[in-house]
Amino acid sequence: VQLQASGGGLVQPGGSLRLSCAASGSIFSINAMGWYRQAPGKQRELVAYITSGGSTNYADSVKGRFTISSDNAKNTVYLQMNSLKPEDTAVYYCNANVKRQRLGTARDYWGQGTLVTVSS
């Protein structure tokens, strides 16, 4: 299973970015997809996730500013980031909890990370 993330870049404070992540490979089903981030010198933290049923969860620091969505048919998750702040600067990692076979066990897979820099 491969996760390909895109959409990072440099943006000014108050600006917006949209991240995308597509899962491909041997996939029977995806239980949930999400985004984590890791800022320099800090631990990786959950930003948001969405289940296959559409339930979402957000870190308190991004509630009201970020929106996670998915296209289940395309095995793709999106993260719309608005009102960006310098403290949002981090490498953002896509995550998917994937079941590769009907009788198999689901496990987590990670994308390569995409850098988001919020700076004037």
pLDDT digits (tens, 9 = 90+) for 17-42: 999 999 999 999 999 999 999 999 99
pLDDT bucket at 10, cuts 50 / 70 / 90:
very high
| Mean per-residue pLDDT over the chain, rounded | 96
Query: Contact at 8 Å (CB) between 47 and 38?
Result: no
pLDDT bucket at 103, cuts 50 / 70 / 90:
confident
Q: Which two tokens stand for residue 110?
A: 């990670």
SS3 state at 86: helix
The answer, yes or no, to whether residue 82 has pLDDT greater than 90, is: yes
pLDDT bucket at 104, cuts 50 / 70 / 90:
confident
